[in-house]
Structure 1
Amino acid sequence: MTTTTLTKQPAWLRPAVLDRAEQVLVVLLWIVLASRVEVSSNPWSVLLLISETAVAVFTLIRRPTEKLSMALGDWLLAMTATCAGLLVLPGVPPLPLLVPLGVFLAVVGNGIQAWAKLTLRRSFGVAPANRGIKISGPYRFVRHPMYAGYALVHMAVMILMFHPMNIVIYAIGWWAQILRLLAEERLLSQDPAYAEYMQVVRWRLIPGLF
């Protein structure tokens, strides 16, 4: 007689628990960022806080899902990419003449990511997950418009709030962001609706390039 032993998954590895832990971490890092912005003498640092506040808010109100990647590497990439922006240090504008360009990039970048988040609504997430396929709004042009918005905001930060450490933070963050993007697509492409969407919208982030 053969006895099959089923190994029960630890409670802390359940998608719902990991989802909640991710939310707590993002909120804690947002509080740290808000405290740095509050004491910063740079008047443009509020533009960074607006961008990261949107991340925190939509992380809290998102729809729970069981279709969540349980791969440790995917989680580490997602948290690295998300937390990078929350660790930025509000520095000073290195070239005052470029301040109008920085403000423009920040406003446009925040606008694009806000449009993408409002399109996703409660389908927004950090770790790779399928919370519903969205193909309207800015998703008609690129498959990851929110990340495109982040890129513009991050360029604005380097112009308006330069700090040497931010170069390191964003280099690591965008290395993780690209790998995270690819991990998301591996998961989402298992859904026939997203696989079809990938055929219609060719570019991931930058039309004509990537």
Structure 2
Amino acid sequence: MTTTTSGASQLRAAAIDRGVAVGRETSQPLNKIVLEISVRTGAALLFAFFAYSAMMHWRADPARVTLLLLVVSECIVVGLSLFARIPVKRDWMPLALLSSVAGSYYFIAVQLGPGVKLVPEAVGVGIQIVGISWQIFAKVSLRRSFGILPANRGVVSSGAYRVMRHPMYFGYFVTDIGFLLVNFGLQNMVVYLVQFALQALRIVREERLLSADEQYRDYKKRVRYRVIPGLF
């Protein structure tokens, strides 16, 4: 009788342990889904606020096409991030989170009012169109393997990624330069200098994560430069 009771107790304990384990397994993906939804909803709200403010400035002066193209550029970035697939592995470290979020949503701090025109509006527009076109090419090459935080979403080595390892950042840089040259000011200069530094940090963090993948290490040997061939 004692042996039977003891065996039954062990079976019940094992069943409870399995139940707890299953509960943990089901709650972890649920937590990730909730976090994903929260992050993406926050991104959409931030962009909506920015786009509304920018469009109000543009309606006051429709000749400021660089402002309109800034909205288009950020719409592409935020829009694709909202529909990107959930990565296998992601860097949630505070430094990576700060550089990624601040580097992506820096546009909230951009001075939207008219600034000093270092070049004519048409020149800035031309530079922005080149940058946006390159962004689109890079994102078409990347397909759904796009996101804000550093993550392993699979190694892509075709299209724009044959030229540089992080072509989208090059597109951002060119687009930002086009806007800054036409809307120059102390605030915007500081915002973009900080943003460029954060993007560089973001690239370093992303490569640290991706370099754990042997396929990506082989890719680094074939494509030497991150963003600017011959320099970085």
TM-score, normalisation: structure 2: 0.80
What does residue 102 of structure 1 align with?
A: 124
Kindly report the root-mean-square deviation, in angstroms, between the aligned alpha carbons of the 2 structures.
2.3
Is this contact kept in 2: 1:12–1:18, CA < 8 A? Answer: no
Counterpart for residue 34 of structure 1? 51
Pairing 1:51–2:68 present = no
Q: Give runs of aligned pairs for residues 1-210 of structure 1, distance below 5 A.
A: 15-40=32-57, 41=61, 42-92=64-114, 94-95=116-117, 97-210=119-232
Determine the C-alpha separation between the residues in 1 that align with 2:115 and 2:123: 11
Offset, 1:15 = 4.4
For the pair shown, the structure with the greater C-alpha radius of gyration is 2
Asked whether the equivalents of residues 128 and 174 of structure 2 are also in contact (C-alpha less than 8 Å), the reply is: yes
- Gap change, CA 1:96 and 1:182, over 3 Å in 2: closer
Matches of 1:38 and 1:69, distance apart in 2: 34
**1:166 partner letter:** N
Q: Is the 8 A contact 1:142 1:206 kept in 2?
A: yes
Query: For structure 2, which runs of at least 5 residues remain unmatched after alignment?
Result: 1-20
| Larger helix percent | 2
SS at match of 1:208: coil
Report % sequence identity.
34
CA distance in 1, matches of 2:175, 2:93: 29
Determine if contact 1:84/1:173 at 8 Å carries over to the other structure: yes
Q: Is contact 1:81-1:177 (8 Å) kept?
A: yes
- Find the residue that maps to 1:135 and give its secondary structure: coil
Aligned-partner Cα distance in 1 for 2:30–2:189: 34
Q: Which runs of 5+ in 1 are unaligned?
A: 1-5
Paired residues, what number? 204
CA distance in 1, matches of 2:119, 2:101: 35
